[in-house]
Amino acid sequence: MGRIIGAVVAGYLAMAGVIFLVCMGAYALMGAERVFKPGSWEPSIVWVLTMFISGFVAAMIGGWVALKIADSAQGSKWLAVLILVLGIVSSLFSRTTSPSKESRPAGISMMDARKNAYTPAWVALALPVIGVAGVLAGGRRRSPVSAPSPA
């Protein structure tokens, strides 16, 4: 049981690390003007797609880490449960109410963006589903490929 708990924690930390690095890099490359819709705190479709794709890849990495550490698919299955529960709780507490009426100033820092960003409800609900799918895909046991037997 301890090995599975360790696998879940390690898989979650791997996911969080990848997402953190991708968010930092993507925000630095894109800048606030491409991350958000013009003059708004609502994310652009480019940012949403970036988060969906990077979230899926990070979840696959987390599922793989959990699988390898647990040495069974149980690690990735429990990580998927954790991601689903945390994702649902997070979506309940995320800022999905109407966005701020104040206009977003140009050239804001990533911290200001994170603090003031508005997350559409559909995005907040889709992220845990994408995370679970990624963890399960990354944590799938694959049978080794065997060479064809000689005739």
CA distance 12 to 32: 28
pLDDT value at residue 121:
83
- For residues 32 and 113, the answer to whether their CB atoms sit within 8 Å is yes
* pTM score: 0.83
**d(C-alpha 120, C-alpha 30), whole Å:** 20
Compute CA distances 34 → 42, 43, 106, 108, 109, whole Å.
11, 9, 11, 12, 13
pLDDT category at 99 given cuts 50, 70, 90 is: low
Residue 151 has pLDDT above 60, yes or no: no
